[in-house]
Amino acid sequence: MEIIIDGWRAGGEERREAASAPVWQLPTLTEEQKAVAKKMGISEEDYARSAYAGRRNQERLIEKTKRFAAILESQPRLKEPGARIDRIRLLTIEHEYRIEIYVEGKKVLFRVAEEMVDDFMEKGFADVGQRIEQNLETVLAVQGVSSKHGQA
Amino acid sequence: MVKLEDRRVVLYLSDEGRRVLRQTGINVLDTGGFSFDVQETSDLGLWVHIDYEDGQHLILIRWNYILAIDVDGGEIRTERLVH
């Protein structure tokens, strides 16, 4: 399975970490990034701190996505023989997960709002977890993958 | 749909927007964009972080002062899990 974090964000926690990081910990900027820093009207160090915060944020998003992947993989439909998750991509700018699943030889695209994942995994809203499961069943049915009871 | 929360953006403001920002004590040049970290968006505008001497403040920049927004999308990171 492939996990892709497309882009980055930086919340208060990452910004604070970046602000206090020693200069030697900051990423070295490419010439392109230096040009962008100039265009953005910020110093190269500020840009490097922003990139540092973004990478820290991506590490957290990777861990969150791994936990979400494990939950998805535990769904009965995805434990059936031949079923697998190929790719989970988080579009950070849209706050949306796009999940590529193979079931019964068919590729199915399943989309989940990141907010639903947070509500379920971080706030413990069990009903949201059930909605994600129901949405998966609906998407599989609509895209022509028979249900576990043999219905399309 | 694009969501700007927790993103660094460059805002290009109208002349009136620049004048208003100067009133808040921000050093605003006559040309170019201004880089901000966005806390939240609302119907009124963008809530952005500003560092002052006493700590961080939030300022609302109204939509009608914003002419264009440049969003730093960030890098793509890929990780492969082996089962």
> What is the per-residue pLDDT across A58-70, written as a single tens digit (0 to 9) for each?
999 999 999 999 9
Query: Is A138 within the bounds of a domain?
Result: yes
Boundary-marking domain end, from A24, A39, A59: A59
- Considering only CB atoms, B6 lies closest to which of A6, A9, A58, namely A9
Tell whether A68 and A135 lie within a shared domain: yes
Query: Is A73 within the bounds of a domain?
Result: yes
Tell whether A52 and A107 lie within a shared domain: no
Tell whether A28 and A51 lie within a shared domain: yes
Tell whether A80 and A47 lie within a shared domain: no
Expressed in angstroms, the distance from the first to the final Cα of chain A is 26
Distance CA B73, CA A7 (A): 5
Tell whether A37 and A70 lie within a shared domain: no
Tell whether A16 and A81 lie within a shared domain: no
* Mean pLDDT calculated for residue range A4-11: 91
> Which residues lie closer than 8 Å to B79 by C-beta, 6 or more apart?
A2, A3, A4, A62
Tell whether A138 and A73 lie within a shared domain: yes
Confidence of residue B82 (pLDDT cuts 50, 70, 90): confident
* Mean pLDDT calculated for residue range A78-86: 88
Tell whether A55 and A73 lie within a shared domain: no
Kindly report the pTM of this predicted structure: 0.86
- Statement: residue A93 has pLDDT above 90: yes
Our count of domains for chain A comes to 2
- The CA distances from residue A87 to A33, A60, A114, B13, in Å, are 29, 18, 16, 40
For B77, other C-beta atoms within 10 Å of its C-beta total 18
pLDDT-above-90 percentage for chain B: 53
Structural domain boundaries enclosing A85: 64-142
State whether ipTM is beyond 0.95: no
DSSP A134-145: HHHHHHHHHTTP
pLDDT at B83: 65
Tell me which residues of chain A have a C-beta less than 8 Å from any C-beta of chain B: 1-11, 15, 36, 39-42, 46, 50-51, 54-55, 57-58, 62, 66, 69, 92-95
Query: Is A115 within the bounds of a domain?
Result: yes
What is the SS3 assignment for B29?
A: coil
Query: Is A83 within the bounds of a domain?
Result: yes
- Residue A108 near residue A84, CB atoms below 8 Å: no
Tell me whether B58 touches chain A (CB under 8 Å): no
> What is the per-residue pLDDT across A116-152, written as a single tens digit (0 to 9) for each?
999 999 999 999 999 999 999 999 989 888 665 544 4
Q: What is the DSSP letter of B83?
A: -
Number of A–B residue contacts, CB under 8 Å: 80
Tell whether A138 and A80 lie within a shared domain: yes
- Statement: residue A30 has pLDDT above 60: yes
CA distance B11 to chain A (A): 9
Tell whether A54 and A97 lie within a shared domain: no
> What is the per-residue pLDDT across B14-29, written as a single tens digit (0 to 9) for each?
999 999 999 988 888 7
Average pLDDT value for chain A: 90
Which secondary structure element, helix H or strand E, spans residue A108, and what is its range?
Answer: strand A106-113
Tell whether A53 and A87 lie within a shared domain: no
Tell whether A86 and A105 lie within a shared domain: yes
